[in-house]
Amino acid sequence: MTSIENPVAVTGATGALGGRVARLLADRGVRQRLLVRDPDRAPELPGAEVAQVAYGDQEATRAALDGVKTLFMVSAKESATRREEHRAFIAAAAAAGVEHIVYTSFMAAAPDAVFTHGRDHDEAEHLIKGSGMSWMLLRDNFYMDIVPHFVGEDDVLRGPAGDGRCSLVSRADVARVAATVLENPRAHAGRTYDLTGPEALTMTEMAEALTRAWGRPVRFHNETIEEAYESRRAWPAEQWEYDAWVSTYTAIASGDLSGISDDVQAVTGQAPMTFAQYLEGGLPRRPSVDAPG
């Protein structure tokens, strides 16, 4: 178990994944230090203290990590400076004396990953492995939580995914793995876990699951790559963002995300949920935010 004298540092505690991890650790009686950009948004949890820090601020990071031996690093928000922020934060963590770092990576992370953000994760993995800290990598597949938000106002899920399959994983299952690893990092040192659900679905099958859950027809339209870029021009963005949105689907089409792992169950002792089980868990009839995919 984690030493009482040394809190576990959790980044992203105001977000969907980091917040889940922080609550699980609090429920298990683990002392924490929540590293957040906006302290006013930090959750109030027993045994948790709050430190304000941004990934690119090395001085603030070293101060915030003083006395911390175990760190949960949620990958930085997608941006044009994401890699620089990762470099600064990882270097500061090592300089602060962190011994164990758990990083949320991507299942198909590689220098030439089809999903463009997977390339950022590949660089972060190599930086962490060369940092001198003991490391554990959580290679998450796409979150099933975000799929409903890709459905348009016309109830169409569209993108150039073809008949490719993706073993979607829930944020809740990733959080359970992270909390388990953070409680006993030595038992997982040097391990890379592929975190997936128990099935690999096509986009057509995802649309069918949404149809059953919402009680109205949802269909998948397989766009060409050109159509995908054009349809996403409705949202003003930079080119790297358009590339990431479109490559979400081309990564599925490539087959890189179709593998099914038993790592969630192996680490937590509990099977990961299916997409249908996630949808049965109280998802609103229509998501409140329609985001480009």
Task: State the pLDDT at residue 281.
Answer: 86
Half-sphere exposure of 45 (CA within 13 A, CB side): 28
Residue among 169, 177, 9 nearest 99 (CA): 9
Task: State the pLDDT at residue 5.
Answer: 67
Q: Structure tokens of 156? A: 């169409």
Task: Please write the tens of the pLDDT for every residue from 99-134.
Answer: 999 999 999 999 999 999 999 999 999 999 999 999
Could you give the CA distance from residue 150 to residue 257 in angstroms, rounded to a whole number?
18
| Strand pairing category for 100-106 and 191-195 | unpaired
185 neighbors 176 (Cβ within 8 angstroms): no
Report the domain count for the chain: 1
Residues of the chain with pLDDT under 70: 1-5, 282-293
For residue 214, tell me if it sits in a domain. Answer: no
For residue 243, tell me if it sits in a domain. Answer: no
How far CA 201 is from CA of 107, 183, 278, in Å, comes to: 16, 32, 14
Task: State the pLDDT at residue 17.
Answer: 97
For residue 46, tell me if it sits in a domain. Answer: yes
For residue 245, tell me if it sits in a domain. Answer: no
Task: State the pLDDT at residue 6.
Answer: 87
CATH number of the structural domain spanning residue 74: 3.40.50.720
For residue 71, tell me if it sits in a domain. Answer: yes
For residue 22, tell me if it sits in a domain. Answer: yes
State the pTM of this model.
Answer: 0.93
Range of the domain at 12: 8-139+170-195+260-270
CA angle 108-139-13, nearest 5°?
135
For residue 55, tell me if it sits in a domain. Answer: yes
For residue 98, tell me if it sits in a domain. Answer: yes
Classified as helix, coil or strand, 14 is coil
